[in-house]
Structure 1
Amino acid sequence: IEMSSPSLKTGAYILIGVGALTMLMGFLGCLGAVNEIRCLLGLYFTCLMLILLTQIAAALVIYFHKETLKVELSDIVVDLIKNYDPSDEDKRNLQDAWDYVQTQIGCCGWIGAREWENNEILRNKSNAEYPCSCSNRSKDLVEGRGFCSLEDPVNGTATYADWPVHEQGCMDGVEQWLKDNLGIILGVCTGVAVVELLGMILSISLCKNIHSEDYTKVPKS
């Protein structure tokens, strides 16, 4: 989060808030259903509705501001690549996450491998090394992080064109992955929304039943 743009920071905090609200909501819903407490069931319904509205709002923000988010994400990744240092434990998790993306998608850099030439460590070594997670050779992927040495650099120097790495940038790779898995993503989102709607319907129905039973228990004069 420290390296994130304001938009991504806001998104991260919203997700944290939604997660905390979900845990509280589950506890309240269970307690309200077991003990037939109408106010807790009403609160459970309200929390579910807020979460559903938040998810819809997030989807709309992503859809209508996708170009802005793409630019901000690009700035973050370019800065990460420039300052990538395997010995920096403070950034270890973020760097490992990026290595995982490059390894799994089979890509290098955000736009392309050339961006790695701006890395401070690689420049000091005349680009005679390259990021292992970018490699198109399976033996380099065993390590999956840090830098691998180029076997035959000319006069001890090289350029990104000499590296045995994937040519595709991760921006194109991520976009292609999203297109390939769009059906699964939409299916999961729809399934979650349906479950939330069912929870809202069941909670309000149980709340009404408790209300009706309370009236039937009142003695008639």
Structure 2
Amino acid sequence: MSCERKKMGSGCLKVTKYFLFLFNLLFLILGAVILGFGIWILADKTSFIAVLQMSSPSLKTGAYILIGVGALTMLMGFLGCLGAVNEIRCLLGLYFTCLMVILITQVAAGLVIYFQKETLKDELSHIVGTLIENYDPLNDDERNLQDAWDYVQTQIACCGWSGAKDWENNKVLINQSMTAYPCSCSNSSKDFQVDSGFCNLDVPVNGTATYADWPVHEQGCMDGVEEWLKDNLGVILGVCTGVAVIELLGMILSISLCKNIHSEDYTKVPKS
């Protein structure tokens, strides 16, 4: 009976070890995905992310946090694989502790984002309103930010934040008596070709116009942008949820393997 128990214990130890190795391999891959999301946010220059990134320091901070979490997650996956294969108790204990800290941090970050979503929405409205008001094709300092907003209006087929009326606050258009309009708002079909700057209306010399005279989309970008953010946020949250599940499984398997190693009096250290 004692031999059979030892064989069963040894078999359970091996199964736990290999399962932990596989979970940590997946953990390593998911960490790389989180790292990729952070790099994507910093590198993206052709979508609404660019508008937020250049106007809101908090998004850059969030991107760096994602990169840090992704890199740390990959490191933990590597340590978990190493500790499982070589059955090193101290490494497994360190791995368990780091996983617990990461999981608590992720839950805390998720709660902060959830309870601050209205503040984020207000900040977003302020950012876009300021961008539209100060939009100037001759201002090279804000060229990248303005091009990003032109891209958003073209791709979403919208104009302004709540509507085309928002552009009546633009200083350049006010000086031109509203006889021009943002080219990226045009409702003519151009196969999503992104135009920038202002286009002139066919009006008499010294004439005036209003936004109602512009050949632009009537819908504002707020609904489209919110939907875009929800779609992308869903992907990010889905990945983070997957990582959290793997973290919990990794914690359970690591502590189980650590106990089995202790009970079987395994104190292996890789020999050089």
TM-score band w.r.t. shorter chain: 0.7 to 0.9
2:257 counterpart residue number: 209
Q: How does 1:54-65 map to 2 (within 5 A)?
A: 54-62=109-117
* Conservation of the 8 A alpha-carbon contact between 1:122 and 1:129: yes
User: What is the deviation of 1:46?
Assistant: 2.1
Q: 2:203 aligns with which of 149, 153, 158?
A: 153
Note if contact 2:186-2:215 (Cα within 8 Å) is conserved in structure 1: yes
Quick one: distance in 2 between partners of 1:69 and 1:197? Answer: 28
5+ residue gaps, structure 1, are: none
Code of the aligned partner of 1:118: N
1:92 match: secondary structure: helix
Out of 150, 153, 166, the position equivalent to 2:217 is 166
Deviations 1:2-42 (A, max 9, x none): 644xxxx4455244324312212221321232244224412
Cα distance in 2 for residues equivalent to 1:187 and 1:139: 30
State the superposition RMSD in angstroms. Answer: 3.1
Helix, strand or coil: the match of 1:138? coil
Matched, 1:27 2:75: yes
Percent of aligned positions that are identical? 41
Q: How far has the Cα of 1:85 moved from its partner?
A: 2.2
- Determine if the alignment matches structure 1 residue 128 to structure 2 residue 128: no
| TM-score in terms of structure 1 length | 0.76
How many equivalent residue pairs? 207
Q: Kindly tell me: are residues 27 and 88 of structure 1, through their superposed partners in 2, closer, same or farther at Cα, counting changes over 3 Å?
A: farther
Residue 61 of structure 2 corresponds to: 13
Query: What's the TM-score, normalizing by structure 2?
Result: 0.63
The one-letter code matched in structure 1 to 2:114 is A
Alignment of 1:25-104 (within 5 A): 25-36=73-84, 37-42=91-96, 43-62=98-117, 66=118, 68-104=119-155
Gapped runs of 5+ residues in structure 2? 1-52, 85-90, 268-272
Question: Who wins on radius of gyration, i.e. which is larger?
Answer: 2
In structure 1, the residue matched to 2:164 is 113
Amino acid corresponding to residue 105 of structure 2 in structure 1: L
Deviation of 1:136 after TM superposition, in Å, equals 0.4
| Residues 23-78 of structure 1: CA deviation (Å, up to 9, x unaligned) | 1222132123224422441213421332233123312332xxx2x44333222211
Q: Tell me the amino acid that sits aligned with residue 92 of structure 2.
A: R
**Does 1:197 find its partner at 2:270?**
no
| Larger RCO: 1 or 2 (CA < 8 Å, sep 6+) | 2
Assess, with a 3 A threshold, how the Cα gap between structure 1 residues 218 and 163 changes in structure 2: closer, same or farther. Answer: closer
